[in-house]
């Protein structure tokens, strides 16, 4: 897929990986980039940088009315990056109630699904179009210490496969990015070497160009997948240690 003159929408685009995607699209020659943020004022720095090519919109993917409004406003979108995420840092049994797990599922699974449903007819207007779901290594191995976050990413990964089949007739690719450890606020508790958000965004753009189905974006993601293939039970026991409260490390 050609990225020059494309029109992208990035959810959670005001910081971290989302912010890096916005800048990467601009550098690749995108005609316009919509930055979805709960508070559009938090994306003003990108609007200022964009020279008229960046539009900040209010978009909380857990609110159906805001997704509907975004679809009405952004009728020219050819690429949707579902990047917004939620991690409450609670385990499934020690959380005081189910609200955290429900919020993680709402933002990490139902949000991208609702975005895909709302924008699929818009993407169909283009000869080539794409959806990118920013997922996690916690979506290929269960991480007990991540509570509802890991199950929500498992669900989103399965959703990506189902959407890929449904959208294939209209030539919309669906890419799942498996992110291990990146230098963002969400991964501030992880020790060791971390990829930059910029490098993840560049890998994401390469995946869009190639129409890739699933891509590991960093060393930790690759190692998790390899360990899972070599020793599934050993990987499970290793992930179980996340319940102990000890340090989480990328292994580098």
Report yes or no: 10 and 17 within 8 Å, Cβ to Cβ: no
pLDDT digits (tens, 9 = 90+) for 177-209: 999 988 665 555 555 567 899 999 999 999 999
Catalytic residue among 72, 149, 194, 206: 149
DSSP state string for 181-249: -BSSGGGTTEES--B-HHHHHHHHHHHHHHT-SEEE-SHHHHHHHHHHHH-HHHHHHHHHGGGGT--EE
Residue 37 host element (H or E): strand 32-37
* Mean pLDDT taken over the chain: 93
Q: Around Cβ 122, how many Cβ atoms within 10 Å?
A: 19
The CA-CA-CA angle for residues 146, 148, 150, to 5°, reads 60
Q: Which two tokens stand for residue 57?
A: 């919109």
Q: Which domains does the chain have, with CATH numbers?
A: 7-244 (3.40.50.720)
Whether 206 sits among the annotated catalytic residues: the reply is no
Q: Name the pTM for this structure.
A: 0.93
Catalytic residue among 4, 34, 109, 153: 153
pLDDT digits (tens, 9 = 90+) for 10-42: 999 999 999 999 999 999 999 999 999 999 999
Residues 73-93 as b or e (16 or more Cβ within 10 Å = b): ebeebbbbbbbbbbbbebbee
Q: Taking the chain (252 residues) in consecutive chunks of 10 residues, what is each chunk's mean pLDDT? A: 97 97 98 98 98 98 98 98 96 96 98 98 98 97 94 98 98 97 62 82 98 95 94 91 69 56
pLDDT at res. 251: 56
Q: What are phi and psi of 52, to 5 degrees?
A: 90, -5
Whether 153 sits among the annotated catalytic residues: the reply is yes
């Amino acid at each position: 897929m050609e990225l020059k003159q494309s029109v992208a929408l990035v959810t959670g685009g005001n910081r971290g990986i989302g912010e890096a995607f916005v800048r990467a699209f601009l550098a690749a020659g995108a005609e316009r980039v919509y930055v979805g943020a709960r508070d559009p004022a938090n994306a003003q720095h990108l609007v200022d940088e964009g020279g008229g090519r960046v539009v900040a919109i209010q978009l909380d993917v857990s609110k159906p009315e805001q997704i509907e409004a975004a679809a009405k406003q952004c009728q020219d979108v050819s690429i949707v990056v579902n990047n917004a995420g939620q991690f409450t840092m609670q385990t499934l049994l020690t959380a005081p109630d189910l609200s955290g797990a429900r919020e993680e599922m709402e933002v990490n699974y139902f949000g991208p699904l609702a975005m895909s449903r709302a924008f699929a007819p818009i993407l169909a207007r283009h000869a080539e179009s794409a959806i990118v779901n920013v997922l996690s290594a916690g979506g290929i191995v269960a991480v007990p210490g991540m509570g509802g976050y890991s199950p929500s990413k498992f669900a989103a990964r399965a959703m990506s496969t189902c959407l890929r089949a449904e959208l294939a007739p209209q030539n919309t690719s669906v890419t799942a990015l498996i992110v291990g450890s990146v230098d963002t606020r969400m991964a501030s508790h992880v020790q060791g070497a971390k990829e930059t958000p910029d490098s993840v965004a560049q890998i994401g753009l390469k995946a869009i160009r190639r129409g890739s189905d699933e891509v590991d974006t960093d060393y930790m993601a690759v190692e998790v997948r390899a360990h899972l293939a070599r020793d599934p039970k050993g990987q499970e026991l290793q992930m179980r240690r996340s319940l102990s409260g000890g340090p989480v490390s990328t292994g580098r």
